[in-house]
Amino acid sequence: MQMTVGRAHLSGHYIRKRLRTAVPARRAAAFAAVLLVVAIVLFRQGGIDFATLRLLAAGVFGLAVLALVTALAGLVRVWHSGREGGGAALGALTIALLVIVPFGLAGVLASQYPRTNSAETDAMMVNDMLAGVTVNEGAAAELADGGASLTGRRFQASAAQVYAVARLVIEDKGWTLVDVVTEVSEDDAEDATGDLGTSGTVGIPLPTPRATTEAPVDRFALPEAKDYALTVEARDFLLRLPSDMAIRIVEDGNETFVDLRSTSRAVTFDLGQNRRFIEDFLARLDEGMAGVTAVLPAKDG
């Protein structure tokens, strides 16, 4: 802008106003991001319980939404009136969106999966119904509505072979094998109280398998059986929330069947996590069994 007053030639420029909300919005978004990371780390380390984590997550979400709305309003004012502070507002918008993304993903999963904290293969569910065991309402409703059910596996191999591969999958996933129950008779296991078990009907000592003499006893290196019931503790990658998984490996004739059930211990709505546990386990079991030379069970007589 230029002006002439008398013989004096004056020049100047307009003073641009600055957004007062851009920097606070960016700080709020950054604080929400840091708080979310800290809350997850504290929960994984056992510093806070799940109820506290939910409260912190709600606070993070509210703060991120507030920063997002403030940043959008600031960008609109920058566009229409040319105010300064557009960079800070854009930074606030970017950080707020990054914080909100996990919550948006949770919303998508909530819309895709039934409101349940359990999943199981169809054969496991049918067996529970026949046995009079209470079946998870969400999973049962999904099956009744023709939803995608989880199908167990059938292998042309012995139950002992499938059990061995299942143990490798569990170890590879980083899950914890809590207990294994087999149908081995009490006569076969009556002397298996220490490092030595028995083999056959005459009580021949059978050393417990181990890599070296100093290696700890593998209490799940069991004699071959036709029925294995595994209890496993599975945890997700992000929050390490525990799920109790039951795996049944049953030999019938020349085939072995595998069925599973997984139930969250801490939440009432798992966002499909237990279903993904089962799907991933079965996929890895398929890969492991593909490289196994089947040893078919010997026929009686």
| pLDDT, tens only, 177-198 | 999 999 754 444 554 444 555 4
Q: What is the pLDDT of residue 208?
A: 57
Please state the rounded mean pLDDT for residues 57-73.
Answer: 94
Average pLDDT over residues 231-237: 95
Q: In 1-121, which ranges are continuous DSSP H helix?
A: 22-44, 50-81, 86-112
What value does the mean pLDDT take over residues 78-89? Answer: 70
CA 129 to CA 261: how far, in whole Å?
Answer: 14
- Matching residue, tokens 């398929």: 286
* pLDDT over threshold 50, residue 291: yes
pLDDT score of 143 more than 80:
no
What is the distance between the alpha carbons of residues 199 and 207, in angstroms, rounded to a whole number?
10
CATH topology of domain 118-184+222-290: TATA-Binding Protein (3.30.310)
Q: How far apart are CA 48 and CA 217, in angstroms?
A: 35
Residue 40 has pLDDT above 90, yes or no: yes
**Contacts of the segment 289-294: beta carbons below 8 A, 24+ positions apart:** 289/155, 289/157, 289/161, 289/162, 289/165, 292/157, 292/161, 292/165, 294/155, 294/156, 294/157, 294/158, 294/161
By CB neighbour count within 10 A (0-12 exposed, 13-18 middle, 19+ buried), where does 126 fall? middle
Confidence of residue 123 (pLDDT cuts 50, 70, 90): confident
210 pLDDT above the threshold of 90: no
pTM: 0.74
Residue 67 pLDDT > 80, yes or no? yes
Structure tokens that stand for 213 in this block: 């003499």
The reported pLDDT for the residue numbered 109 is 94
Separation CA 55–CA 63 (nearest Å): 12
Residue 301 burial (C-beta neighbours within 10 Å; 0-12, 13-18, 19+) = exposed
Lowest mean pLDDT among 15-29, 51-65, 244-258: 15-29
Percent of the chain with pLDDT over 70: 70
Q: Write down the mean pLDDT value for the chain.
A: 81
With a cut of 90, say whether residue 248 has pLDDT above it.
Answer: yes
Split at pLDDT 50, 70, 90, the class of 3 is: low
Give the pLDDT confidence score for residue 89 in this predicted structure.
Answer: 82
- Compare 300 and 42 and report the one with higher pLDDT: 42
Spell out the domain ranges in the chain.
Answer: 16-112, 118-184+222-290
Residue type, 180: V
Instruction: Judge contact between 80 and 19, C-beta under 8 A.
Output: no
